[in-house]
């Protein structure tokens, strides 16, 4: 019975699959999801200002020699409110943050900024969500770290929690 | 009190499963006779009790009892009755309860009906079924209690995911579950056969109807799921190679292989170990599928009941059942005497080739589905494997499979030395050549895969009818008709897939009222928009005029808003003609006031699902034929030549 070992082959294969999914379930899944755009330059775009008194945002504003965060938000988005203190903390630490207001009107954006603070240096208005699609963003809030040369370094999906702040800050410093 | 009664019934059913397990495996020893009678009793009681529990859950959903957490989370007072009831299984707990209900009802049926097996195999089979059921009862009772109360009760309920609010999807999960559960029965039979060492034709004949039933339901479930995704998701595709879709395709592939090998075993007493292996694989695939869907380990567009803890539970069950069965396979299969030998060039040989090719596709799909995990584990890369990989790898294998599908049924059992195969293949080959010439002339520039698909399908369509040649049609056994119909169904489905992928025309445009678009020979105009309201949604509905020749039709694509939970869906409008479907979806309005309209002309796309239905119908004919023959047991043996 030289072929007896063949009979155990299915079990070995099955064991491998079980080990694989066991590992898959217990791996650390971070929210710093790498999108297809990681390592790619920011797509060309130009957005009008979302509120009066603050400039809009275009792709060439992002390659001005400093790494910065680009934050997709909306005044209608509840997690964005929860995220506001963390953005404020990052801004206070010296990180430049630009915003993109999704499917929003100026009045609501203004109210949102008045109530939850305004960490943004510029805010562009993405009225029909087209730029969101171009960026490959899956929802709001979502934040990108863009290198000085306009390359996207990382994508953070979902709201930034307090525990994410140090990591984002480190990533920003590494890029500087 | 209804919830408590349901919970009590569930506990009692679990107790019956425990008794069934002991009685079943006890039946392997000496005190067989006393145990067998009580074994049947336990199995029937378990079936009735779990049915009671499920009925209680349905009742709770029908009356929207919001003091039950599951109802509050998955239903709403304003929902139409059909979806209130469908809400009972449109969620994790309810669907697991449905799963175990179908499983234990089948156990009860086996206990009442099964007469083909010897007493020891019968006891071992029901014992194995008891173990499987026990795991799922434990799962329900300890980690996913569907009857848990909510305090205080919810005021209105959260509703059902609107995407699931569709008649197709209300019936989709039960259909698939019957398929999965049928495979668990095949698994139990295989375990029983390994324990007793009796894996001959009697075992194959006892197992075959269950394989057939589950295969029919899986086929229908996949077909319906594909059509649902096609018209409900609004992206005009019919197969996405999503992990959740693959979860139902993989057991189907294994079941298809099993269906053919079990017939070889029943008719020729060959392929014993292979048949048992496939029975284990088929059930393993349905469990792995369930696990992948529930654990959230892979990301899917169908994101559903993502919960790692529950994933762990299913993984443990999976490891115990499948791992245990594979250990049994390694230790016991050597003692299963190998069956009758056969020549490679024979019906058996053709079926072995079919099995190998189906297994190859299964392996490709499994690897593709798990590859994101493998890549992350070994290379630290995050990536997703999409349609390009699956199309490129599965389609060529499937094309080769079609060749065997055409030739296999024309071969004789044991050894085909007659040399008649080339003669029988003349007509099918002729059909392929005619199709090739027609395509080259009428549709030059067709891609190579769609072209091959259509050419092979033409040949297969003819070849699948050849076995009827020279027979008295009315006296031809139903299983043969079933085989012919199922193989024809494959050809029909392939024509649909190939022409959809080769000839679809698409148009995406922003239009104003009255502006005319053209797609696939149709002239299409947006006439206007109307607000409409349904039972629990509101929508903007477009009036889209489609003209071709003298014909005029109005399509009504909708953009729907649901209020509980808040969600937007796009309801596509379909215009079915004999030669294809015009597919329209309504998008958003842009700043200039134009409406986005997306149009597809998909030639012969309906054949995909028609083919699926034909395949299932073929299975049903075979099943009816087998059951019928069961009643007339003394049928002449010469007619036992069909498959399935």
Average pLDDT value for chain A: 81
Contact A127 B333 (CB under 8 A): no
* Identity of the residue in B284, B297, B319 whose CB atom sits nearest the CB atom of A25: B297
Give the SS3 label for residue B551.
strand
At residue B301, φ and ψ (nearest 5 deg) are: -70, -15
Kindly state whether A22 is in contact with chain B, defined as any CB-CB distance less than 8 angstroms.
yes
Contact B315 A23 (CB under 8 A): no
pLDDT at B197 over 60: yes
The span from the CA of B49 to the CA of B570, in Å, is 41
| Contact list, A25 vs chain B (CB under 8 Å) | 295, 297, 308, 311-312, 315
pLDDT tens across B606-627, in order?
999 999 999 999 999 999 988 8
Contact B377 A24 (CB under 8 A): yes
Contact A25 B277 (CB under 8 A): no
pLDDT at B352 over 80: yes
Contact A20 B373 (CB under 8 A): yes
Q: Quick one: pLDDT at residue B298?
A: 67
| Contact list, A32 vs chain B (CB under 8 Å) | none
Q: Kindly state the percentage of chain B with pLDDT values over 70.
A: 90
Contact B376 A14 (CB under 8 A): no
Q: Quick one: pLDDT at residue B634?
A: 44
Q: Quick one: pLDDT at residue A1?
A: 44
A92's enclosing H/E stretch is helix A78-92
Closest-CA distance, B33 to chain A, in angstroms, reads 34
The span from the CA of B27 to the CA of B36, in Å, is 7
pLDDT tens across B69-79, in order?
888 877 777 77
pLDDT tens across B24-40, in order?
887 666 665 667 778 88
Kindly state whether B308 is in contact with chain A, defined as any CB-CB distance less than 8 angstroms.
yes
Which ipTM value was assigned to this complex?
0.81
Give the SS3 label for residue A171.
helix
The span from the CA of A85 to the CA of B311, in Å, is 35
Q: Nearest residue of A to residue B311 by CA position?
A: A25
Kindly state whether B427 is in contact with chain A, defined as any CB-CB distance less than 8 angstroms.
no
The span from the CA of B481 to the CA of B641, in Å, is 12
pLDDT tens across B481-503, in order?
999 999 999 999 999 999 999 99
| B374-379 contacts at long range (C-beta below 8 A, 24 or more positions apart) | B374/A20, B376/A24, B376/A27, B377/A20, B377/A23, B377/A24, B377/A27
For the beta carbon of residue B543, count every other beta carbon within 10 angstroms: 16
The span from the CA of B288 to the CA of B416, in Å, is 39
Kindly state whether A4 is in contact with chain B, defined as any CB-CB distance less than 8 angstroms.
yes
Q: Quick one: pLDDT at residue B13?
A: 95
**Segment B628-643 mean pLDDT:** 56
Average pLDDT value for chain B: 85
CA angle at B54 for the pair B53 and B56, rounded to the nearest 5°: 65
Q: Quick one: pLDDT at residue A77?
A: 75
Q: Quick one: pLDDT at residue B144?
A: 82
The per-residue b/e assignment along B28-53, b for 16 or more CB within 10 angstroms, e otherwise, is: beeeeeebbeebbbbbbbbbbbbbbb
Closest-CA distance, B51 to chain A, in angstroms, reads 32
| Contact list, B329 vs chain A (CB under 8 Å) | 7, 10-11
For the beta carbon of residue B371, count every other beta carbon within 10 angstroms: 15
Sign of the torsion angle spanned by Cα atoms A28, A30, A36, A38: negative
The per-residue b/e assignment along B1-27, b for 16 or more CB within 10 angstroms, e otherwise, is: eebeebbebbebbbbbbbbbbebbbbb
| Interface with B, mutate which of A24, A32, A128, A129 (most B CBs under 10 A) | A24
For residue B299, the 8-state DSSP code is -
With a cut of 50, which residues of chain A have pLDDT below it?
1-2, 30-32
The span from the CA of B365 to the CA of B359, in Å, is 10
Kindly state whether B544 is in contact with chain A, defined as any CB-CB distance less than 8 angstroms.
no
pLDDT tens across A124-136, in order?
998 776 777 667 6
Q: Quick one: pLDDT at residue B59?
A: 93
pLDDT tens across B395-433, in order?
999 999 999 999 888 888 877 777 778 888 889 999 999
Q: Nearest residue of B to residue A5 by CA position?
A: B330
How far CA B272 is from CA of B17, B276, B335, in Å, comes to 29, 6, 11
Give the SS3 label for residue B9.
helix
- CA-atom Rg of chain A in angstroms: 21
Kindly state whether A23 is in contact with chain B, defined as any CB-CB distance less than 8 angstroms.
yes
| Contact list, A8 vs chain B (CB under 8 Å) | 330
In contact, B345 and B333? CB cutoff 8 Å: no
Closest-CA distance, B332 to chain A, in angstroms, reads 10
* Identity of the residue in A11, A18, A34 whose CB atom sits nearest the CB atom of B330: A11
pLDDT tens across B236-285, in order?
788 888 887 888 899 999 999 999 999 999 988 888 889 999 999 999 99
**Segment B380-392 mean pLDDT:** 78
- A to B CB pairs, distance under 8 Å: 61
Closest-CA distance, A3 to chain B, in angstroms, reads 10
Contact A11 B329 (CB under 8 A): yes
| Contact list, A14 vs chain B (CB under 8 Å) | 284, 322-323, 326
């Amino acid at each position: 019975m030289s072929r007896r070992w063949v009979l155990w082959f299915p079990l070995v294969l099955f064991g491998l699959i079980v080990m694989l999914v066991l590992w898959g379930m217990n791996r650390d899944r971070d929210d710093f999801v790498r999108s297809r755009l990681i390592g790619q330059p920011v797509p060309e775009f130009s957005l009008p200002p979302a509120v009066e008194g603050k400039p809009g945002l275009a792709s060439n504003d992002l390659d001005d020699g400093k790494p910065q965060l680009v934050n997709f938000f909306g005044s209608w988005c509840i997690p964005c409110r929860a995220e506001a203190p963390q953005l404020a903390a990052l801004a206070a630490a010296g990180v430049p943050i630009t915003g993109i207001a999704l499917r929003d009107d100026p009045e609501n954006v203004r109210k949102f900024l008045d109530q939850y603070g305004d960490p943004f240096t510029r805010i562009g208005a993405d009225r029909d969500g087209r730029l969101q699609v171009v960026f490959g963003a899956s929802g709001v809030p979502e934040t990108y770290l863009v290198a000085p040369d306009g390359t996207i370094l990382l994508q953070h999906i979902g709201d930034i929690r307090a525990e994410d702040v140090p990591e984002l800050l480190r990533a920003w410093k590494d890029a500087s | 009190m209804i919830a408590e009664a349901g919970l009590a019934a569930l506990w009692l059913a679990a107790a019956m499963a425990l008794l069934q397990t002991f009685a079943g495996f006890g039946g392997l020893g000496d005190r067989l006779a006393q145990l067998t009678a009580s074994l049947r009793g336990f199995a029937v009681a378990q079936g009735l009790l779990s049915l009671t529990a499920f009925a209680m859950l349905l009742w709770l959903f029908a009356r929207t009892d919001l003091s039950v957490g599951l109802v509050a989370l998955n239903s709403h007072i304003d929902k139409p009755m059909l979806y209130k009831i469908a809400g009972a299984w449109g969620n994790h707990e309810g669907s697991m309860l449905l799963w175990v209900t179908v499983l234990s009802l089948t156990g009860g049926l086996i206990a009442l009906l099964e007469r083909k097996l010897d007493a020891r195999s019968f006891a071992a089979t029901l014992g194995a079924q008891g173990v499987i059921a026990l795991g799922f009862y434990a799962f329900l009772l300890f980690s996913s209690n569907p009857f848990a109360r909510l305090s205080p009760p919810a005021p209105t309920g959260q509703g059902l995911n609107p995407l699931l609010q569709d008649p197709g999807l209300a019936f989709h999960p039960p259909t698939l579950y019957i398929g999965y559960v049928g495979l668990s029965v095949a698994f139990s039979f295989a375990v029983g056969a390994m324990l007793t060492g009796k894996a001959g034709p009697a075992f194959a004949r006892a197992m075959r109807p269950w394989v057939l039933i589950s295969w029919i339901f899986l086929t229908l479930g996949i077909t319906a799921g594909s059509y649902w995704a096609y018209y409900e998701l609004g992206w005009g595709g019919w197969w996405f190679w999503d992990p959740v879709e693959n979860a139902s395709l993989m057991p189907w592939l294994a079941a298809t292989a099993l269906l053919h090998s079990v017939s070889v075993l029943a008719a020729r007493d060959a392929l014993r170990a292979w048949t048992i292996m496939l029975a284990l694989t088929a059930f393993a695939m349905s469990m792995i599928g369930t696990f992948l869907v529930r654990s959230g380990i892979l990301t899917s567009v169908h994101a559903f009941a993502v919960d790692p803890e529950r994933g762990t539970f299913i993984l443990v069950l999976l490891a115990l059942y499948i791992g245990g069965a594979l250990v049994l396979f390694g230790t016991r299969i050597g003692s299963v005497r190998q069956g009758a030998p056969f020549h490679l060039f024979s019906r058996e040989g053709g079926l072995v080739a079919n099995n190998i090719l189906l297994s190859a596709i299964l392996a490709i799909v499994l690897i593709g589905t798990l590859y994101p995990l493998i890549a992350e584990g070994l290379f630290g890369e995050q990536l997703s494997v999409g349609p390009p990989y699956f199309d490129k790898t599965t389609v060529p294998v499937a094309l080769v499979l079609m060749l065997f599908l055409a030739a296999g049924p024309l071969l004789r059992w044991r050894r085909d030395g007659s040399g008649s195969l080339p003669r029988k293949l003349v007509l099918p080959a002729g059909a392929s050549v005619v199709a090739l010439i027609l395509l080259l002339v009428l549709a030059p520039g067709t891609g190579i895969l769609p072209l091959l698909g259509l050419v092979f399908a033409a040949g297969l369509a003819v070849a699948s009818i050849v076995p009827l040649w020279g027979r008295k049609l009315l006296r031809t056994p139903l299983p043969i008709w079933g085989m012919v119909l199922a193989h024809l169904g494959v050809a029909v489905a392939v024509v649909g897939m190939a022409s959809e992928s080769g000839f679809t025309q698409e148009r995406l445009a922003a239009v104003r009222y009255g502006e005319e678009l053209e797609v696939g020979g149709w002239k299409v105009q947006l006439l206007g928009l109307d607000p409409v309201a349904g039972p629990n949604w509101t929508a903007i509905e477009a009036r889209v005029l489609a003209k071709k020749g003298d014909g005029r039709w109005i399509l009504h694509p909708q953009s729907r808003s649901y209020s509980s939970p808040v969600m937007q869906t796009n309801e596509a409008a379909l215009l079915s003609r004999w030669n294809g479907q015009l597919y329209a979806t309504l998008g958003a309005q842009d700043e200039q006031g134009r409406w986005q309209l997306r149009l597809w002309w998909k030639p012969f796309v309906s054949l995909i699902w028609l083919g699926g239905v034909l395949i299932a119908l073929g299975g049903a004919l075979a099943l009816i034929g087998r059951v019928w023959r069961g009643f007339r047991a003394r049928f002449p043996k010469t007619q036992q030549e069909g498959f399935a």
